[in-house]
């Protein structure tokens, strides 16, 4: 008996009727596995904030700029200071972050894990025509939405405080000169 390929709609429906279990069983199995494994997938929540950097508003003809460094360099310096150990360690302790990792690892390893969950990116300013930096985004990936928001806020507060401290030190240096 010679086999001929299905050529009409009726032939295709007959093939589907004969092989219906070959299609139903794998589909049901895949759906059941997806439903059973979904709770095991870790949930991560990301909180992002954007901070604007305001340059000096008083014209340089009246008052010399206190900050002489480029905004990009300033962000990088503050980033290094903020993401160093002590400040992140304080946030980890205060907010009880990474409890499982803290039990079995040193604090330096926990801080390194937290640093991986933090993303800081500069936002170029297209309005000045030079492509300078006038803002940066700060993101943190956490276990819960509330945790992600709280940690992002704490890190941004560290950035603001470090920026104020650096500006104050530069102003004192300028006044002393």
115 Cβ contact partners less than 8 Å away, ≥ 6 residues apart: 83, 88
What confidence tens digit (pLDDT) does each residue in 114-137 have? 989 999 888 776 665 555 567 889
Strand partners, 124: 133
Going by C-alpha positions, the residue among 57, 60, 45, 58 that lies closest to residue 144 is 45
- What is the model's pTM? 0.66
Q: Which two tokens stand for residue 105?
A: 């690892």
What confidence tens digit (pLDDT) does each residue in 53-100 have? 765 555 555 555 544 456 677 778 878 888 877 888 889 999 989 998
158 within 8 A of 150, measured Cβ to Cβ: no
Q: Which two tokens stand for residue 64?
A: 């010399």
Q: Which two tokens stand for residue 69?
A: 């460094």
């Amino acid at each position: 008996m010679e086999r001929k390929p299905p050529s009409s709609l009726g032939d295709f429906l007959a093939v589907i009727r004969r092989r219906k279990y070959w299609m139903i069983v794998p589909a049901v199995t895949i759906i059941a596995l997806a439903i059973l494994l979904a709770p095991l997938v870790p949930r991560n929540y990301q909180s992002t904030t954007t901070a604007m950097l305001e340059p000096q508003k008083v014209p340089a003809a009246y008052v010399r700029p206190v900050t002489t460094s480029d905004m990009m360099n300033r962000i990088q310096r503050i980033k290094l200071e903020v993401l160093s150990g002590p400040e992140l360690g304080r946030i980890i302790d205060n907010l009880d972050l990474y409890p499982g990792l803290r039990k079995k690892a040193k604090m330096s390893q926990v801080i390194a894990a937290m640093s991986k969950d933090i993303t800081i990116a500069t936002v170029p300013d297209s309005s000045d025509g030079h492509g300078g930096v006038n803002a940066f985004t700060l993101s943190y990936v956490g276990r819960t939405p509330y945790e992600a928001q709280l940690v992002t806020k704490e890190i941004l507060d560290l950035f603001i405080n470090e920026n104020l401290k650096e500006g104050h030190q530069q102003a004192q240096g300028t006044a002393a000169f």
